Structures are given as structure tokens and as C-alpha cells.
Amino acid sequence: MNKKKIDISEYYTWIDQIKAKTHSTRTKIALSANSELLHLYWEIGKEIVAKQNKSGWGSKIIEKMAIDLKHEFPEIKGFSRRNIYAMKQWYLLYSQKFEM
């Protein structure tokens, strides 16, 4: 096999293209993850409102949810009582205009 010497300028052009593709893909992954989290938070807010309306549960359910979700998903920081309450409020505020 006859190996050719690397053209360094060709290599740098090529590696810059690979780096650009990698940066682009990382950005797309981050945006996709954020979109999915927003969808999850919307669904949680929707579920809380539906359950409270149907079953008559009060606000204590949010505190119980926070404890249970933090226990199940300790690596996720978004399941505090305050954040879950905000999910409900976000859903209530925007659900009439922007049902997903």
C-alpha cells in the first residue's frame, strides 16, 4: 500500500468540518432535550389540574408528588414542591390559548 503524506491544510479543513458538525449536533441535542422537558412539565401541570378537578384533591398532593418524584429521580433537580406548583400554574395560565 502506497501511503500518501497528509496535506495539513486539507486535514485542518476536514477536521474543522467535523468539529462544526459536532457542535451543531450538540446544540440540536440540547434544544431537543429542553423541548422534551417543557413538554413533560406541561403534561405534569395538566395531570395535576385534571386530578384535582376530578378527584377533588387539594394542594397537599403537590408536596406529596415532590417527595415521591425526588425519591424516584434524585438526579433531576426540577421536582421541588415549588417547581411542581409552577408547572400547574404554567399550565393553568397558558392552557386555554396553547393546548399542546
* Strongest mean pLDDT among 45-49, 59-63, 75-79: 45-49
**Spatial separation of the C-alpha atoms in residues 18 and 12, rounded to whole Å:** 10
pLDDT interval class at 99 (50, 70, 90):
low
CA dihedral 46, 49, 54, 58 (to 10 degrees): 150
Domain boundaries, the chain: 8-94
- Give the pLDDT confidence score for residue 96 in this predicted structure: 83
Residue tagged 395538566 (cell numbers): 46
pLDDT in tens, 68-92: 999 999 998 899 999 999 999 999 9
